[in-house]
Amino acid sequence: MDKLEILISKKEIAAAVRQLAAKITTDYKDSQPLLAVCILKGSCVFFADLIRELDLDVRLDFMAVSSYGAGKTSSGEVRLLKDLDDVIDNKHVLIVEDIMDSGITLQYLKKLLLSRNPASIRICALLDKPASRKTDIEADYKGITIPDSFVVGYGLDCNQKYRNLPDICILSQD
């Protein structure tokens, strides 16, 4: 049976998103337009909230990757399921990700996008799970550091379930 326990309430999430957006707005004042890249599917909820808090000329694009197999364990292998629609050379790119866990996904994405000669590239991750890091990649904008638990809600899933929960919850199964 699944047990859900709220780790971060929707109010706390909203405060973290506002803080991130304020910092990004300041930093990109002279680097517009900003191309915000949503990493599907997990980031869709965070992305939708974040972009509406940015007081900038923001353009959007979407990528889909899969690093997780079924359930709660990462396959450690990143597959590109959907690439960007447009070229990014000379553009200021911000990768928007839901959570940084091992860091393998973001390392893969950053390397891939860097090879396309953007004007700049940075990473924004709502959640950071530093305990399970397997790479030395760091996010430029980090929302909330969480313990090494499996979380769902606010876009994050377990086997595609729970993405629509408004809070971020620890999922335990017995």
Nearest to 5 by CA among 174, 129, 131: 174
Asked if 139 touches ligand IMP (CB under 6 A), the answer is no
Residue range at the interface with ligand IMP (CB under 6 A); choices 2-10, 29-37, 55-63, 67-75: 67-75
Buried b (16+ CB within 10 A) or exposed e, 114-136: eeeebeebbbbbbbbbeeeeeee
Residue whose structure tokens are 């629609």: 85
Asked if 150 touches ligand IMP (CB under 6 A), the answer is yes
Q: Could you list the residues that contact Mg ion (CB under 5 A)?
A: 42
Sheet holding 2-8, edge to edge: 2-8, 168-173, 151-152
CB of 113 to Mg ion, least distance (A): 16
CB of 106 to ligand IMP, least distance (A): 6
Site for ligand IMP in 96-125 (CB under 6 A): 97-105
**Residue 101 annotated in active site:** yes
**Which residue, 15 or 64, is less far from Mg ion as judged by CB?**
64
Q: Which candidate in 49, 98, 101, 167 is catalytic? A: 101
CB of 42 to Mg ion, least distance (A): 3
170 interacts with, out of ligand IMP, Mg ion, none, CB within 5 to 8 A per kind: none
Asked if 25 touches ligand IMP (CB under 6 A), the answer is no
Residue range at the interface with ligand IMP (CB under 6 A); choices 17-25, 79-87, 92-100, 110-118: 92-100
Question: CA of 23: how far to CAs of 27, 28, 53, 59, 124, in Å?
Answer: 6, 9, 11, 18, 11
> In terms of DSSP bridges, do strands 58-68 and 34-40 run parallel, antiparallel, or are they unpaired?
parallel
101 interacts with, out of Mg ion, ligand IMP, none, CB within 5 to 8 A per kind: ligand IMP
CB of 109 to Mg ion, least distance (A): 10
Catalytic residues: 101
